[in-house]
């Protein structure tokens, strides 16, 4: 079917199957007071090379530090005039490793996580000033990824993901490095680095919903820390273990893992948890299926409400897929046998227009006695969630992301971030929420969630943590232009951050900043009250 015909079919089906969402009118119960407007974009000119991933801001110099994986450098942008962000210079950290994975800034101090040339070997954290001059470096764990400062800037935390080699013969331990920053960086040494690890944990101690399944891996080897958020007082941190479907809580003073909590699964057979599970059904079909969605959050953020800490996760999902081991399989595969007692309609479910195309895990749901699957586990929950500090879910956005994008961006519904193919990602992780940040604006906490595939940012008011309200879907993508043309706009949001009004280059106006890894663009938006 040609794109124009399919888009029309999608739009028609959406109108028939998707409830009309309330608009942002003055009498609407969902109304909040934000207006988000694109200001300016810096284009690296590099497509699908990770040229704009994680972004960090220095208020003193009004510079953005953008991870450019394509070049292995950090691009430094001048945003004193945010409608015209301009490249000032690049920071080359190739002397410290093969690529930069993340960047963070605190009061003029820039920190970069640099991966070893051999990714299973220890990486480094490099500290610089805002002019890109190196102030010091220390060794951390294997594959250092996301890093963040505590609110007071006295500590720097690094998620050491510890991914295995492609043949899965080498699997380093995942950990979190805690760098206690001295008053004078000239005194920084390896003695300032402490490690919170998972060596004391055994499989028997863990909640059954925590996935430990890598070949011949210990718990410490199997855990892969992905993203970190820190409590307001800087004493605790929560770390997503994405592939493991869990969140770890860390005592920063003692550098000890306090708890690891499994997140369970989302029942897509319940009302409100519908999904579109096929890219071969020719339409938007958001409906219930007997599928369990593993939350598997990527990014995590946090906020305080009535003296309680809440965690906010972007439930992207992620599979282990390596040359030496892969857990990915489609429901329709002949090797994926459904238990006939649980799924008497297995033959129907396995049809491509139903669940046959859905990518699921062969590592979860298998009954070893029968050799069949008595539960279907898919990657990610196509949502964002709010949890309390003990990992108990307070809210999940359910089918919101697919319903809202189907209504507002029907020609891009569940499309890829590399081409305009509506419904093309329904068999995988749908809109694929990846990045999230929470920012307080005009006395209210708001969540900004980046949808990697459809290329947009969902905005929710978190004033009631148990009942967040949808505010807006922000997108700078142009469906009428085909990637990789620059006219196609922003593709593949990775890093999402908010510059507060107090630190903004526009006095009193907060800004939303999005780094887009596929289009290689960094876009700034102004946030106003209506």
Q: Give tens-digit pLDDT for 481-522.
A: 999 999 999 999 999 999 999 999 999 999 999 999 999 999
16: which residues sit within 8 A by CB, 6+ positions away? none
The answer to whether 188 and 182 are in contact (CB under 8 A) is: yes
Which residues are 68's β-sheet partners? 73
The answer to whether 93 and 114 are in contact (CB under 8 A) is: yes
Query: Where are the alpha helices (H) located in 2-124, listed in sequence order?
Result: 3-17
Euclidean distance between CA atoms 360 and 116, whole angstroms: 31
The per-residue pLDDT for 32 is 55
Euclidean distance between CA atoms 64 and 221, whole angstroms: 35
Task: Please give the span between the terminal C-alpha atoms of the chain, in angstroms, as a whole number.
Answer: 42
The per-residue pLDDT for 70 is 78
Question: Which domains are seen in the chain, by residue range?
Answer: 3-318+380-529 (2.130.10.10)
Euclidean distance between CA atoms 231 and 251, whole angstroms: 10
Euclidean distance between CA atoms 158 and 347, whole angstroms: 47
For residue 348, the surrounding DSSP H or E stretch is helix 346-349
5: which residues sit within 8 A by CB, 6+ positions away? none
Euclidean distance between CA atoms 149 and 155, whole angstroms: 6
The per-residue pLDDT for 29 is 42
- Rounded to 5 degrees, what angle do the CA atoms 93, 299, 303 make? 115
The per-residue pLDDT for 128 is 98
**DSSP character string of 393-433:** EEEE-TTHHHHHHHHH-GGGTT--SSS--TTTTTTTTTT-E
Euclidean distance between CA atoms 167 and 317, whole angstroms: 22
The per-residue pLDDT for 21 is 33
The answer to whether 133 and 159 are in contact (CB under 8 A) is: no
Q: What is the dihedral of CA 203, 207, 211, 214, to 10 degrees?
A: 0
480: which residues sit within 8 A by CB, 6+ positions away? none
Euclidean distance between CA atoms 8 and 27, whole angstroms: 31
- Residue the block writes with tokens 């992207």: 316
Q: Which residues of the chain have pLDDT under 50?
A: 1-31
Backbone angles phi, psi at 156, to 5 degrees: -125, 125
The per-residue pLDDT for 106 is 98
Token code pair at residue 100:
């930069």
The per-residue pLDDT for 33 is 82
Number of CB atoms found within 10 A of residue 309's CB: 18
């Amino acid at each position: 079917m040609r794109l124009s015909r399919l888009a029309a079919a999608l739009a028609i089906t959406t109108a028939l199957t998707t409830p009309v969402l309330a608009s942002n009118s003055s009498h609407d119960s969902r109304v909040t007071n934000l207006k988000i407007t694109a200001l300016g974009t810096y284009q690296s000119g590099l497509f699908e090379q990770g040229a704009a991933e994680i972004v960090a801001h220095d208020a003193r110099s009004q510079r953005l530090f953008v991870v450019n994986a394509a070049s292995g450098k950090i691009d430094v942008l001048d945003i004193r005039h945010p409608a015209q962000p301009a490249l000032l210079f690049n920071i080359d950290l190739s002397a410290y490793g093969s690529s930069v994975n993340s960047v963070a800034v605190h009061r003029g101090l820039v920190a970069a996580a640099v991966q070893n040339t051999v990714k299973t070997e220890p990486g480094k954290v490099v500290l610089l000033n805002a002019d890109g001059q190196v102030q010091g470096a220390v060794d951390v764990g294997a594959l250092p990824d996301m890093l963040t400062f505590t609110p007071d800037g006295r500590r720097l935390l690094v998620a050491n993901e510890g991914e295995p080699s492609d043949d899965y013969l080498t699997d380093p331990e995942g950990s979190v490095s805690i760098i206690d920053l001295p008053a004078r960086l000239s005194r920084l040494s390896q003695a300032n680095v402490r490690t919170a690890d998972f060596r004391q944990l055994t499989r028997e101690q863990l909640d059954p919903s925590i996935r430990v399944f890598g070949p011949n891996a210990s718990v410490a080897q199997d855990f892969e820390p992905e993203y970190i958020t820190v409590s307001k007082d800087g004493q605790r941190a929560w770390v997503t273990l994405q592939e493991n479907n869990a969140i770890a809580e860390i005592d920063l003073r003692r550098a000890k893992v306090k708890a690891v909590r499994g997140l369970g699964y989302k029942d897509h057979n319940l009302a409100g948890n519908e999904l579109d599970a096929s890219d071969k059904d020719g339409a938007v079909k958001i409906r219930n299926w007997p599928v369990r969605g593993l939350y598997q959050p990527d990014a995590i953020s946090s906020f305080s409400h009535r003296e309680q800490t809440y965690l906010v996760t972007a439930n992207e999902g992620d599979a282990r897929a390596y040359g030496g081991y892969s857990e990915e399989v489609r429901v329709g595969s002949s090797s994926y046998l459904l238990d006939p007692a649980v799924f008497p309609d297995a033959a129907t479910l396995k049809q491509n227009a139903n669940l046959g195309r859905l990518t699921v895990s062969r590592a979860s749901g298998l009954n070893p006695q029968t050799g069949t699957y008595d539960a279907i586990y898919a990657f990610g929950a196509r949502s964002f969630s709010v949890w309390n500090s003990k990992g108990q879910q307070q809210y999940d956005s359910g089918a919101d992301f697919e319903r809202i994008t189907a209504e507002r961006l029907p020609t891009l519904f569940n499309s890829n971030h590399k081409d305009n193919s509506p419904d093309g990602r329904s068999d995988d992780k749908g809109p694929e929420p990846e990045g999230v940040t929470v920012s307080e604006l005009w006395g209210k906490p708001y969540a900004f969630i980046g949808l990697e595939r459809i290329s947009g940012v969902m905005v929710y008011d978190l004033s009631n943590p148990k009942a967040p309200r949808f505010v807006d879907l922000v997108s700078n993508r142009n469906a009428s232009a085909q990637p990789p043309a620059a006219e196609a706009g922003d593709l593949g949001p990775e890093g999402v951050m908010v510059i507060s009004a107090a630190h903004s280059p526009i006095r009193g106006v907060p800004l939303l900043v999005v780094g887009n890894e596929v289009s290689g663009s960094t876009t700034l938006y102004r946030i106003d009250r209506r």
